[in-house]
């Protein structure tokens, strides 16, 4: 069964939901953002959490009201609901004009819409209820929002980590025929990117790997148990704390920065490596090599890698290829 509903949202809320849909790679075949598919998953995965948290808030307010004034249980429930729905709104949401979107639901999302309509609307409309749910979702840190949207994948990984089971999966960023077989060790959030990563050991290549959970698909927990390596776990844990989006080998690096480079280093905080020490214009790092490469690509002549030679050569090749492209 499929049904369509008009939902009214502020432009700000619609934009932020669309941004999440794009970040979490919900796309149509033509490459445009598939907001409807994203919202269906959001409703299915967040409904129970939202309903339970709202009920806890209402119960707490009712108890506080009843404890302060002499009021019937029925009246305290009405007043508590009014407080939540009137005074705990975002000021921007109150004042901004609304725009209509068409939400098409089917399957599990259709069933949840039916539950909302039959049991939870009271004096509110379906559009108002869903708008409040979306606003609540957006108030959560992005890394936690990603866990909500990819709840089934996160649960499967957590189960495999707990049971020390090998898992297989493909990814949205690799060839269709590529399947990864890994020993899962950690789930770790990236503070800069606000995304979650699976930190694991490749069971075939025997090298550490990292995957963003929003890009995993067809995940399968095998019956094979892997031998848990404490030393590897500590190594991966250290890498996860530093930079979970990259578990490449850590190198001792020396970078010479001019005044513009130092200024950029202070401003460009996303995926910025931690400084080991500073000696004049020389900055020392103990950091994953690929992460250093990606970070300092943005600096040009304002940051020159002196060591290690491997990183220096990779950046020289990157800039020479860029120069060749501009000359053509």
- 185 dihedral zone (left: phi>0; alpha: psi -120 to 50; beta): alpha
pLDDT value of residue 76: 56
Rounded to whole angstroms, the Cα distance separating 253 from 328 reads: 33
By the 10 Å C-beta count (0-12 exposed, 13-18 middle, 19+ buried), 130 is classed as buried
pLDDT in tens, 58-73: 777 766 666 665 666 6
Fold of 250-327: Alpha-Beta Plaits (3.30.70)
Identify whether the C-beta of residue 34 lies closer than 8 Å to the C-beta of residue 149: no
| CATH classification code of 147-242 | 2.30.30
Identify whether the C-beta of residue 98 lies closer than 8 Å to the C-beta of residue 9: yes
Rounded to whole angstroms, the Cα distance separating 289 from 285 reads: 10
My answer on whether omega of the bond before 97 falls inside 30° of 0, hence cis, is: no
pTM more than 0.85: no
Identify whether the C-beta of residue 193 lies closer than 8 Å to the C-beta of residue 272: no
The mean pLDDT value for 197-223 works out to 94
pLDDT value of residue 85: 56
Hey, what are 60's tokens? 């707490």
3-state secondary structure of 304: strand
Domain with CATH 2.30.30 in the chain: 147-242
pLDDT value of residue 58: 72
85 membership: H or E segment, kind and range: helix 73-86
pLDDT in tens, 23-67: 999 999 999 999 999 999 999 999 999 999 988 877 777 666 666
Rounded to whole angstroms, the Cα distance separating 261 from 189 reads: 28
CA distances for 142 relative to 16, 135, 197, angstroms: 11, 13, 13
Dihedral of the CA atoms 316, 317, 322, 324 (nearest 10)?
A: 110
Rounded to whole angstroms, the Cα distance separating 42 from 109 reads: 9
3-state secondary structure of 69: coil
Could you count the other beta carbons within 10 Å of the beta carbon of residue 228?
11
Rounded to whole angstroms, the Cα distance separating 275 from 280 reads: 13
Domain with CATH 3.30.70 in the chain: 250-327
Identify whether the C-beta of residue 90 lies closer than 8 Å to the C-beta of residue 67: no
pLDDT value of residue 74: 60
């Amino acid at each position: 069964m499929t049904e369509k509903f008009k939902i009214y949202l502020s432009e700000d809320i619609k934009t932020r939901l669309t941004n999440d849909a794009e970040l979490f790679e919900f796309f149509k075949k033509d490459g445009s953002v598939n907001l409807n598919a994203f919202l269906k998953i959001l409703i299915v995965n967040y409904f129970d959490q939202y309903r339970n948290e709202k009920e806890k808030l209402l119960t707490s307010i009712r108890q506080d009201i009843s404890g302060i004034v002499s009021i019937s249980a029925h009246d305290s429930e009405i007043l508590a609901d009014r407080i939540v729905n009137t005074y705990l709104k975002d000021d921007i949401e109150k004042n901004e004009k609304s725009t209509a979107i068409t939400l098409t639901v089917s399957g599990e999302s259709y069933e949840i819409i039916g539950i909302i309509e039959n049991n939870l609307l009271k004096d509110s409309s379906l559009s108002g209820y869903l708008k409040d749910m979306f606003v609540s979702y957006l108030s959560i840190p992005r890394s936690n929002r990603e866990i909500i949207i990819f709840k089934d994948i996160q649960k499967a990984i957590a189960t495999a980590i707990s049971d020390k089971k090998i898992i297989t999966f493909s990814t949205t960023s690799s060839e269709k025929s590529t399947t990864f077989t890994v020993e899962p060790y950690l789930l770790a959030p990236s503070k800069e990117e606000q995304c979650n990563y699976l930190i694991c050991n490749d069971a075939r290549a025997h090298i550490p790997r990292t995957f963003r959970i929003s890009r995993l698909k067809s995940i399968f927990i095998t019956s094979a148990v892997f031998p848990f390596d404490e030393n590897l776990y500590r190594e991966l844990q250290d890498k996860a704390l530093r930079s979970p989006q990259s578990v490449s080998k850590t190198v001792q690096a020396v970078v010479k920065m001019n005044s513009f480079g130092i200024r950029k280093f202070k401003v460009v905080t996303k995926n910025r490596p931690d400084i080991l020490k500073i000696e004049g214009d020389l900055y020392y790092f103990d950091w994953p090599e690929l992460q250093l490469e990606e970070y300092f690509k943005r600096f040009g002549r304002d940051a020159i890698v002196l060591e290690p030679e491997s990183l220096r050569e990779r950046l020289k090749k990157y800039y020479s290829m860029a120069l060749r492209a501009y000359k053509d």
